[in-house]
Chain A
Amino acid sequence: MEERGFGYIADMLVFALLLSTATLLLAGASPVDPRADSTRYASSFAQSTLRSLQNTTADQFGGFGYEFSTSEWGLSVTEGSARRELRHKTLAQLLAEDALLNLRVEARGADFTLPQPNQDMNEELKGFLKSALDRIIGGRFSYRLRARAEPIGLEFARVHFETEIEDLAQARTQLCSETMMLSLPASEEELTRRIEEMLDIDLFGQDLEVDPIIEVTLELWSR
């Protein structure tokens, strides 16, 4: 082969090398971050889900009800009359009511719930909300819903509320976390009175910071 022929082939090979480098760069380069898209979608989805909790009644998910725990209180009631049906409350109202009725007490490092007639509501509501969230989210994401009230500090204890519903069995990475605030169905005075009744104490004259609001946070995770 003559020298010009060698030169021609060498030029072509260099050109092919440049082309393959460009191809590899293009194949590897992503014009957008796919995670940014999923995060934005998840965030919008979480906002929609939280709004759904505020606008959907329990009736739309088959209705919600629970039994008062009458036996622990030594009450004898007619069969079936201790059942409380809350079909027309929205899911958010149920969460707020659960927070008000099932406040927890933390004292000397121990966290406990005082026995109350409505204590079954918390567990029943967790199961009910899980099935509602499973249907709304429809398997697109894994999730964790957390509701918590600002702890109220007393001299000897801390009164608070926290509940969590999650389906993180297939969760990979957290995509977003959206929060909404809910008002408890009670004023500051009513909430103080409720704590007094619950702990059988007098809080008159104590400077308590009582905030009748709960924070509901929904985290969505990729699967």
Chain B
Amino acid sequence: MGFSVGEDLFSVLVVTGLVVVFVAALTHSYHVYVERRNASEDFDLALDIAERLRDQVLMGQGDQLGLLELSHERLENYSRILVLQGINLRVEVRTLEGELLFAHGSEPNALEGYFSPPVGVALPVIVAQDQSSAAPCALSVRVWRG
């Protein structure tokens, strides 16, 4: 190409720099777009899992909708199925005052959290305590891919 050293080369450098900035902006926008899509998909997944825990996995023996019976064994079996699909699960049940009643699954570590930020949902549930009493609690489900 017939450029002359001086202002022509400077113009080319400026325009090239401009293109690089625009490419970086485009990459960033795409990253944000993908992150939003993944967050939405993960939120749907977390909600699906929370509903399944509420309506099937942890449902009390009387098949009373909304009444939960906490069981590590049932959760362990369900978590294994999710792990096979590359999904990690942390379940917590807290009283309405925030006191932790039950927890299952490990917390996401920093590295896992960086690549797939955990997404969580919380639903109000009733937890059976003994034959005659039940307490209002919050079922919190966090999922992340690993």
Q: A: which residues have CB within 8 A of B? A: 1-2, 4-5, 8-9, 12-13, 15-16, 19-20, 22-23, 26-27, 29-32, 34, 37, 40-41, 44-45, 48-49, 51-52, 54-57, 59-61, 135-138
Task: Give min CB distance, B61 to chain A, whole Å.
Answer: 14
Q: How far is the CA of A26 from the CA of B23 in the complex (A)?
A: 13
Tell whether A26 pairs with B26 under 8 Å between CB atoms, given A13-B15, A31-B37, A55-B126: yes
Interface pairs A-B: 3 shortest CB-CB: A51-B66, A31-B37, A19-B22
Q: How far is the CA of A135 from the CA of B95 in the complex (A)?
A: 10
Residues of A close to B123: CB separation below 8 A: 44-45, 48
Q: Which chain B residues numbered 100 to 146 have a C-beta less than 8 Å away from chain A?
A: 121, 123-126, 133-136, 138
Residues of B close to A59: CB separation below 8 A: 133
Majority SS at the chain B contact face: helix
* Cβ–Cβ contact A16 & B29, under 8 A: no
- 13 inter-chain pairs at a CB distance below 8 angstroms, sorted by A residue, are A1-B4, A13-B15, A13-B18, A20-B22, A20-B25, A27-B29, A30-B36, A41-B43, A44-B47, A51-B66, A52-B124, A54-B65, A61-B136
Determine which of B12, B22, B135 lies in contact with A8 in the assembled complex, contact meaning CB atoms within 8 Å. B12
Tell whether A40 pairs with B96 under 8 Å between CB atoms, given A5-B3, A5-B12, A26-B26: no
Tell whether A16 pairs with B18 under 8 Å between CB atoms, given A4-B2, A26-B33, A135-B136: yes
Interface residues on B, range: 35 or more
Q: Which chain B residues numbered 40 to 78 have a C-beta less than 8 Å away from chain A?
A: 40, 43-44, 47, 50-51, 54, 64-67
Residues of A close to B136: CB separation below 8 A: 52, 56, 60-61, 135-136
Taking the complex as formed, is B1 at the interface, i.e. its CB lies under 8 A from any CB of chain A?
Answer: yes
Tell whether A1 pairs with B96 under 8 Å between CB atoms, given A9-B12, A19-B22: no
* Cβ–Cβ contact B124 & A45, under 8 A: yes
* Cβ–Cβ contact B25 & A23, under 8 A: yes
Most chain A beta-carbon contacts within 10 A, residue among B2, B25, B54, B66: B66
